[in-house]
């Protein structure tokens, strides 16, 4: 049964009026429009209007926001850089270095996604709500899972090099 935010039980309503106007209205609401948006419409922003340089600037603004506002992102960046410096110092293979770099990037990307989701949830539900909390908790869990995976990758790659030292 589908329930909208207003509490209406649309499926029950559709079952009661099967074949009636309600079912055709629901069908129209589900189907996507088949016409294209006119490029001449001044109220519609198109992705082609944003230059490649401006796209990079927007991304850099996002990275700047992430680093200014998210303590965990700064910690993850520092840890990742330390791991990469150590990997370069002990001369891991290029493939191992690439795996470490991608793992570091993945954790930072997950942190950015977590931040974006938390901001969107806060915007959509400024008051406390159990589902908003669950969304934020699951988003944070995503970063934790990625960080645990990164630690395991780091151990798997770096440990043999330190066994040789001792």
Question: Higher model confidence: residue 31 or residue 124?
Answer: 124
Radius of gyration of the chain (CA): 24
Residue 25 domain flag = yes
Active site residue ranges: 111
State the DSSP string of 1-20: --B-TT--BHHHHHHHTTTS
pLDDT of residue 1: 41
Q: Are residues 16 and 90 in the same domain?
A: no
pLDDT level of residue 123 (50, 70, 90 thresholds): very high
Domain that residue 152 falls in: 70-166
Residue 117 CA to residue 73 CA, distance in Å, equals 15
Q: Give how many domains the chain has, as a whole number.
A: 2
Q: Residue 96's domain is classified under what CATH number?
A: 1.10.287.3610
| 20-51 per-position pLDDT tens digit | 444 444 444 444 445 565 556 666 555 566 78
Estimate to the nearest angstrom the gap between the alpha carbon of 58 and the chain centroid. Answer: 16
CA distances from 36 to 29, 32, 33, 40, 47 (A): 17, 11, 8, 11, 15
Instruction: Note the pLDDT of residue 41.
Output: 60
Say whether both 106 and 162 belong to one domain.
yes
- Percent of all residues in the chain with a pLDDT value above 90, rounded to a whole number: 65
Residue 65 within any structural domain of the chain: no
């Amino acid at each position: 049964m589908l329930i909208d935010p207003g509490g209406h039980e649309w499926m029950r309503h559709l079952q009661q009026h099967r074949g009636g106007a309600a079912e055709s209205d629901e069908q129209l609401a589900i189907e996507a429009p088949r016409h294209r948006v006119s490029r001449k419409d001044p109220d519609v922003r198109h992705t082609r209007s944003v230059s490649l340089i401006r796209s990079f600037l927007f991304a850099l603004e996002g990275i700047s926001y992430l680093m200014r506002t998210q303590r965990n992102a700064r910690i993850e960046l520092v840890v990742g850089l330390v791991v990469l410096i150590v990997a370069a110092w002990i001369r891991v293979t290029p493939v191992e270095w690439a795996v470490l770099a991608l793992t570091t990037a993945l954790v930072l990307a997950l942190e950015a996604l977590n931040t974006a989701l938390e901001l969107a949830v806060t915007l959509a539900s400024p008051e406390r709500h159990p589902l908003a909390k669950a969304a934020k908790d699951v988003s944070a869990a995503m970063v934790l899972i990625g960080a645990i995976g990164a630690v395991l990758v780091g151990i798997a790659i770096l440990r043999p090099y330190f066994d040789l030292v001792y």
